[in-house]
Every structure is written in structure tokens, then in C-alpha cells.
Structure 1
């Protein structure tokens, strides 16, 4: 299971850095009309990728927590839970505002800014996995 966990964590860390450095900033360069066309496609497609990875991460972290408890596993579980909270209560509402065309410039900047915390957390989760398996 440690290898599967590392693969999933790596997938999420690569994905979040692509989103943070390339995808979200690219929204700045789209007209409201272009964003209205692209954003729903993007959110549907990214959900197909990130959804299974996040679910796999929860399952693998939960399995590890209950079968091979360690403080690193507990810290990872808390951080994974935090990524879910931030996704549900911060990222998704901001995406909903973008989809509705609400104050696009400000909302895009808020999304980029808010997403830094998820980027750092998923990076820490991956680094903890390297420590755990190292």
C-alpha cells in the first residue's frame, strides 16, 4: 500500500502545481465569453481526474491509519481532511462564482490566492509520504 499511496499523492501534487501555476492563472487571459465556454468544460474534465485521485487518497490514508497507525499517518489524514474542507468550502464556491460570471477578475484572483494553501498542503502530504517510505 505505501507505493500506491505515494503514486496517488504524487499525482495530486503534480496536478495541484499545474493548476496553481498554469491553469488558474490562464483564466486571467480569457474574456468573460471565453471563460463562460471554457470553465464548465474545464471543471467537468478536471473532476474526472481529481475526483478519483482524492477518493483514492482518502481510502489509502484511512487504510494506513487503521492498519499501520503512526503519527505521520495521522498528520497525513488530518491534512487530507483539510484539503477536502478547502475544496468543498472554498474552491468549489469560487468556481461556482466564476461559472455564474460573478465579479470575474476578483474571483479569479481569490481562487489563485486561496489555492496556494491546498498546493502547500498536498505538497506536504507527498513529502510526508517520502519520509514515511524512505
Structure 2
């Protein structure tokens, strides 16, 4: 029963992050281009700070539950599914650390069309990874039922 709770927490965290990254991709990042340039830096810094608070809890839950599921899984959930969930989660971390954070650091210095375009284009990898992770989580829930 406890492992099923872990799996449900995992799925909830992944789907929260999936929904959030889709909103960021479709609405938030493209919206940066329409912000007043004089107040862009202050607005961007506020966005970055609040986004970190918004995503850090669910993202941590995703990471911890993935680690647990790699070691212990509910009956019916194969190791390969937990491993695939881990790959999807690792991809979100890698793109964030290696691409998104550096782009945000550059945008903190001021608006830049080229950097914003890079952020939007490369964020598609996070959208893909979190969406795939959500589908894997749903599949694990079905397998455990």
C-alpha cells in the first residue's frame, strides 16, 4: 500500500510539473517578448524567484519518488518503467541546469531576443520530457491497478 502511495505522489508531482511547463511554453516565455523593456529585468527576476518556489517542491517529490520506485515498486510495475521515469526526470534537470538557467541569467541582465528564442526553443525538450514522464507515470498507475 505504501508503494502505491509513492506512485500516486510521483504521478501527481510529474503531472503538476507537466502542466506548469506547458503553461510556461505556450504563455509565459512567449509573453516575455511583450513586456515593457524598462521594467523587464525586475519582472523577469520576480518571475524567476516565484517560479523556483512554485516548481521546487513538486520537482523534489518527483525526484525522491523516482528514486524510491527504482528500488521498490508496486506489484505489476516493471523496473524499465521506473528507469524510463528516471530518464525523463534526468532530462528535465539536464536541460534546466545546462540551458534554461544560463538563459535566465542572461535575461536577468536585460531583454535579449536571441536569448529568449533559445529559451523557448530549448524548453521544448523539457515539455517533451515532462509530458513523456507523465505518460510513464500514468502507465505505471495502470500497471499497479
Q: By the TM > 0.5 criterion, same fold?
A: yes
Contact 1:32–1:104 (CA<8 Å) still a contact in 2?
no
Residue 115 of structure 2 corresponds to 107
Contact 1:97–1:107 (CA<8 Å) still a contact in 2?
yes
After TM superposition, what 4+ stretches of structure 1 lie above 6 angstroms from structure 2? none
C-alpha deviation, 1:119, in angstroms: 0.3
CA RMSD after TM alignment: 1.1
Q: 1:89 aligns to what SS in structure 2?
A: helix
1:39 to 41, 44, 53: 44
C-alpha deviation, 1:59, in angstroms: 0.2
**Unpaired runs of at least 5, structure 2:** 1-5
Question: Taking structure 1 as the reference length, what is the TM-score of the superposition?
Answer: 0.95
* Residue 24 of structure 1 pairs with residue 33 of structure 2: no
* Residue 129 of structure 1 pairs with residue 137 of structure 2: yes
Contact 1:9–1:122 (CA<8 Å) still a contact in 2?
yes
1:1-134 aligned within 5 A? 1-68=6-73, 70-101=79-110, 104-134=112-142
Question: Taking structure 2 as the reference length, what is the TM-score of the superposition?
Answer: 0.88
Q: Which has the higher helix share?
A: 1
**Unpaired runs of at least 5, structure 1:** none
Counterpart CA distance in 2 for 1:72 and 1:38 is: 40
